[in-house]
Structure 1
Amino acid sequence: MFLVQGAYAHASDADENTEMSPKAAYMMPLASQSLLTDVVKVGQQGFAAVGQRGHILLSNDAKNWQQATVPVQSLLTSVYFTDDQYGWAVGHDATILHTQDGGKNWQLQQFLPEQDKPLMDIYFFNRQQGLAIGAYGLFFTTSDGGVSWQPTFHKTLVSADDAEYLADLEETDPEMYLLERESVLPHFNRLIVNDQQIIMVGEAGFMAKSDDAGASWQRLEEFYNGSLFAVHRTEQGSIVTAGLRGHVFLSEDDGDSWQQIDLPVSATLNSLFADSAGRLFITGNAGALLRSEDNGQSFQDMSQADGRAILNGVALGEQLLLVTEVGIKLTPLSKSE
């Protein structure tokens, strides 16, 4: 089984998790046409994309891609660079990878196949301080650039009912408390960071906020009972989040209240990102692609005719660089192009 937000929430893959020791990713000539889950800019001109079987691809022009050397074959779900040299990627088997040469070579910092749990997102404030989150409440932090990763548990991320249960258990059975506390947390799917503030979304309407770089957390009141897979803060300061069955919500008061935004599609939505002009984009299953030019108040349908799931993207002027279930795609924003 492997887990990726949206399109690949639950599916089988015989090539994943077959052995407990890491094996280097195969160099595949058609890797750019395989399932890719995330893409980011690297420095001023570079790009990095990650995906199935440990594939990490690099490009300087968003058209020609070269596969990097990677020490695992786990499905990778997210990638983040602090600058043009230092980057990290996460994925299944609680895998964490690190590069110090712009993505050409990657070193394994963490690999825990025995847990059978995927990490879904990663962020670094600088080259030393970072955090990684994932399914089943996975939460790791580092203060030494990933040389060591500490599993972290925040009681405030637990629901009110489960918090009461854990409090009783902590007093009566401390050993069982340590076992149970991980099982009551939801999947953590995505996070965004603005200075010291972090917003994290996940399973069953979970949303939480930290105002001190993750040292402490406040679980926000649930406003939707479905999973949320994407979250974004606009240039105007609004928060937009998206998830199952075409559900999108907008908050203009830092998460205190939410309004649902009507969409012309009902597919599960996977990612949110913006361009330099402040236009907001949503990608999703079944080729779903939407654009907003009014701070998320409404969206225009740009869905792709091929119907392939779009997992994430980067805006490049009047084009979008998209990663999909069948690889990398460049899509013009104007039909006339």
Structure 2
Amino acid sequence: MSIATLFKSPLLSGVGLMLGAGLVIASVASQSPVDALREADTRPALEAAHASHAAMLAVAQAGQRLVSVGEHGLILFSEDQGQTWQQAKVPVSVTLTAVSFANALQGWAAGHYGLILHTEDGGQSWTVQMDGQRAANLVLKEAEVRAEGTDDRQLKRALFSAKRLVADGPDKPFLDIHFRNAREGLAVGAYGLILATVDGGNRWMPLNYNMANSGERHLYSIAEANGYLYIAGEEGLLFRSQPGNDWHFDRLKTPYDGSFFTLSAAGEQLVAAGLKGNAFRSLDGGDSWQTLDLPSDASVVDSILGANGDLLLVNQAGQLLQGNVATAAVRVLPSQPVAAPTAVLRTGQNSLLLSGLRGLAQVLVPSVQVLSN
């Protein structure tokens, strides 16, 4: 099982991973009997005690506010740079894997059951904007239109896959979401699931036919720089949006055929990293790639790349790795390892916020110079 699958799967609800996590859910008696019997995609998130120690999978900045999403539909926000956290009102109880804000108020979160949530108040309350069944039906409708009146084997195969997607039900998770502004956004996930919107999420359109991912490989991470969108996935998949055509993607050649779990971009510089500590840099917008020599073979789970090329990586072992893409040298920072980290966010000149399977942690690292992208 890949590290991304481990972090973003229902297995997180297992007893083993939750031991020591400090997650205590308030009594189910606080819910009505009807709510308690609902499926997770329609059951509101329960109030959590010690919520900041729960399994959290992603973090984002919303103006001066910090927002984190995680297991059981838990969304937390902080008004004081992570000193204290409040729980948001969330209409679902599924695992949420990613969060993105276009500005201080407009944000989106995505996760299991093909769910995409939206907030208009900086993360305090959320509504469902997309679910897995609707997403599958969008893919099927597009496949039917393209396959009608043709004997093209690839289109027929895509139609078969789309029908299977609908028959499976809303079980495919989104693994990342990115909004470049309050209207244009992109969500990617398991089995090549990819949707885009140009109206703030009121309508979504499938982009499966706009990239060469016929094997329906998982898509894990989105980055943007210089007006280009980049997407990373399993089996060395890397895509870049076409010039002047944001929703069509060209596949980039990479020297690696394993999974990329994180992708960062700044100007012409890119870093893709993932399984077993494999990491690569590009200084020309993804046209060519060189190996980054990491001091650990632990899988990399998140990254931040600054405009000056300064790089920060966090790996499954809880280590923080710092370097610069110009020199390709990366070192382990002398900080206390964070248990089972999932994401990192720069919150100040020398401070970081890390989410993980044991909650949220602030880390002070005097030498950190990178900027969040």
Q: 1:195 to 1:294 in 2, by over 3 A?
A: closer
Aligned equivalent of 1:329: 361
Structure 1 residue 122 and structure 2 residue 177: aligned? yes
Choose which of 260, 269, 285 in structure 2 pairs with 1:228. Answer: 260
Q: 1:213 to 1:67 in 2, by over 3 A?
A: farther
Alpha-carbon offset, residue 303 of structure 1: 6.9
In 2, the alpha carbon distance for the partners of 1:10 and 1:230 equals: 17
Aligned equivalent of 1:173: none
CA contact (8 A) 1:207 1:222 kept: yes
Alignment of 1:147-296 (within 5 A): 147-158=202-213, 162=214, 184-210=215-241, 211-212=243-244, 214-234=246-266, 237-274=268-305, 279-293=310-324, 295=326
* Residues 251-291 of structure 1, C-alpha deviations (whole Å, 9 max, x = no match): 11221221111111111111111468763211121212111
Q: 1:320 to 1:296 in 2, by over 3 A?
A: farther
Aligned equivalent of 1:93: 113
What's the RMSD between the two structures over aligned residues? 2.5
In 2, the alpha carbon distance for the partners of 1:105 and 1:240 equals: 34
143-152 vs 252-261, which moves further: 143-152
Structure 1 residue 103 and structure 2 residue 123: aligned? yes
* Residues 74-103 of structure 1, C-alpha deviations (whole Å, 9 max, x = no match): 111110111111000000111100000111
Aligned equivalent of 1:48: 67
In 1, the alpha carbon distance for the partners of 2:327 and 2:47 equals: 40
Alpha-carbon offset, residue 12 of structure 1: 2.0
CA contact (8 A) 2:319 2:337 kept: no
Tell me which protein shows more helix as a share of its residues. 2
In 1, the alpha carbon distance for the partners of 2:8 and 2:123 equals: 27
Aligned equivalent of 2:7: 8
Letter in 2 for 1:248: A
Alpha-carbon offset, residue 126 of structure 1: 2.2
In 2, the alpha carbon distance for the partners of 1:296 and 1:26 equals: 48
Structure 1 residue 132 and structure 2 residue 187: aligned? yes
In 2, the alpha carbon distance for the partners of 1:232 and 1:14 equals: 29
Aligned equivalent of 2:150: none
CA contact (8 A) 2:97 2:174 kept: yes
* Residues 33-67 of structure 1, C-alpha deviations (whole Å, 9 max, x = no match): 01111111111x21111111111110122211111
Choose which of 340, 354, 363 in structure 2 pairs with 1:309. Answer: 340
CA contact (8 A) 2:8 2:95 kept: no
Alpha-carbon offset, residue 204 of structure 1: 0.6
In 2, the alpha carbon distance for the partners of 1:330 and 1:23 equals: 31
* Residues 178-230 of structure 1, C-alpha deviations (whole Å, 9 max, x = no match): xxxxxx22111101112531111001100111033532111112420100011
Letter in 2 for 1:120: L
Letter in 2 for 1:233: A
Letter in 2 for 1:200: I
* Residues 98-154 of structure 1, C-alpha deviations (whole Å, 9 max, x = no match): 000111100011122723111011122322222211110111122221122222322
Q: 1:280 to 1:214 in 2, by over 3 A?
A: same
Q: 1:68 to 1:258 in 2, by over 3 A?
A: same
In 1, the alpha carbon distance for the partners of 2:192 and 2:212 equals: 9
Letter in 1 for 2:238: M
- SS of alignment partner, residue 216 of structure 1: strand
Alpha-carbon offset, residue 11 of structure 1: 6.2
Letter in 2 for 1:38: A
- SS of alignment partner, residue 11 of structure 2: coil
Q: 1:284 to 1:68 in 2, by over 3 A?
A: same
Letter in 2 for 1:48: V
CA contact (8 A) 1:7 1:284 kept: no
Letter in 2 for 1:30: H
Alpha-carbon offset, residue 294 of structure 1: 5.5
Instruction: Give the TM-score taking structure 2 as reference length.
Output: 0.76
CA contact (8 A) 1:89 1:122 kept: yes
Q: 1:103 to 1:223 in 2, by over 3 A?
A: same
Aligned equivalent of 1:179: none
Letter in 2 for 1:279: D
In 2, the alpha carbon distance for the partners of 1:151 and 1:270 equals: 26
Choose which of 54, 62, 81 in structure 1 pairs with 2:101. Answer: 81
In 2, the alpha carbon distance for the partners of 1:27 and 1:216 equals: 41
CA contact (8 A) 2:269 2:325 kept: no
Q: 1:100 to 1:248 in 2, by over 3 A?
A: same
In 1, the alpha carbon distance for the partners of 2:358 and 2:113 equals: 23
Percent identity over the alignment? 32
Segments of structure 2 that go 5 or more residues without pairing to the other structure are: 15-37, 134-168, 368-373
CA contact (8 A) 2:185 2:198 kept: yes
> For this pair of structures, how many residues does the alignment match?
307
Q: 1:3 to 1:245 in 2, by over 3 A?
A: closer
CA contact (8 A) 2:10 2:95 kept: no
